[in-house]
Each structure stands twice: as structure tokens, then as C-alpha cells.
Amino acid sequence: MQTSQIIEALLFASDAPLSAEDLARAHEDLDEDAVEAAIQALRAEYDATGRAFQIYEVAGGYQILTRPEAAPYLERFRTVPQPARLSAAALEVLAIILYRQPIGRAEIEEIRGISSAGVLRTLQDRGLIDVVGRAEGLGRPLLYGTTQRFLEHFGFRSLHDVPRPEELPVVLREHVSRQKETAAT
């Protein structure tokens, strides 16, 4: 079997993104460069033959997904699993965790001005956030961070791929400059 066929089979059968490193474990003769080359070849082939799917980079790995043009047809079918959308509250809490991780519940609630325990539990149940440590201080509160599953859900390649806080229209000058100060010291 050709390398590109092995890679194609793995991406076809996997239900989560696979990194080049993961894929290289398929055969002793494979390394990451060979995997990347095979993926480029497959991509070109899918474009040339007009396949309805393509290999996308998601969450530090590769995944076969349908092209966006297919969405209007797919969303009508009950046998096609439809992507779940998060609530506004869940997105708000995720945004705070994303840019301030690791962060505890009290800090999140301070920023939002409302209780957030239920939202945190839901996000954790869905694997989008996880406990990444404990803060110093009274009660050693749990600290949350985003997960691999988070990157997958939003289609980000990595945490460097998320919108940069400076690009957001309302920039918290104070916080950004404070971060720069700590980075400089």
C-alpha cells in the first residue's frame, strides 16, 4: 500500500484530528516529513478531482471534513450529526478562560458580574475546558483552561490561531500594558 493510501485510510477512519507524529506511527518507514508530503499530495488530488471533502488542519492535527459548500445539503439530514452550538453564556465564559487561563471561578464571575458555576460545569462536561491546577491562597481554588476539544470545536489549529486580543475592537489597554510589563520583567 502507498503511503498516501495509509494516511488516507487513517484520516478516514479516525473520529478526531491526527497529528503528523500520530500518523507516522502507522509504519516503521514513515516519518513526519513523509506524512506531510503525502497529505499535500492527497489535498492536491482532492482539489483536482473535485471531492466534496478536504484534509483540514484542526487542533494541531489533520482531519477529513466536508467542504463548506456541502453544508446546506448536509444540514437537512437527520442521519448526519449536526454540530452543537454553544449558548451566549457559555461562549462568554470560554472567551474569558481562553484569554486569562489559568483562571478560577471567582475571577470569571468578577468579570461577568454574575454567577457562572453552572456554565463552568457544562463546559467541563463537554470537554471544552478542564481543571489545569489550583491557585495559591485560601481554599486553593480550581483553575480552568481550554482543552484540545476546545480547538476542535472552533476549528482552531492551535492556541496561536485564536483571535488576538489586540485585534478585538475594545482593547483593555490597562491589561495589555500590564501583561507587557510582566513580560518585560
Partner 1 sequence: MAVSVSGEGAFIVELDRFQGPLDLLLHLIREQDIDIFDIPIARITQQFLQAIEGVEQRLGIDRAGEFLEMAATLVRIKAQMLLPRRVDESGELIDPRAELVRRLLEYEHFREAAQRLAEAEAERALHYARGFVPPMPKPEPKDNLELTWEELLAAAMAVGERARPPAEHRVVARAVPLEEKIALIIETLERFARVEFRRLVRPFADRLHAVVTLMAGLELTRQRRVALRQREPFAPLWIYRRNGKPSDADVADH
Binding site for partner 1 (CB under 8 A): 12, 15, 53, 56, 63-68, 70-71, 74, 79-81, 83, 85-86, 88-89, 91-92, 94-96, 98-99, 111-115, 153-156, 162-163, 165, 168-172, 174-175
Nearer CB in complex with partner 1: 38/58: 58
34/122 with CB nearer partner 1: 122
Chain centroid to CA 54: 18
Q: Where are the beta strands (DSSP E) in 8-88?
A: 53-58, 61-66
What minimum distance in Å lies between the beta carbon of 183 and partner 1?
19
Cell 491589561, residue located: 175
> Please, what is the minimum distance in Å from the beta carbon of residue 70 to partner 1?
7
- Residue 46 or 53: the one with the smaller Cβ distance to partner 1 is 53
Give the other-Cβ count within 10 Å of 81's Cβ: 8
Region class of 140: left (phi > 0), else alpha (psi between -120 and 50), else beta: left
H/E element holding 38?
helix 32-48
Q: Which is nearer to partner 1, 12 or 139 (CB)?
A: 12
Residue closest to 92 by CA, chosen among 106, 76, 111, 77 = 111
Least distance (Å) from partner 1 to the CB of residue 33? 26
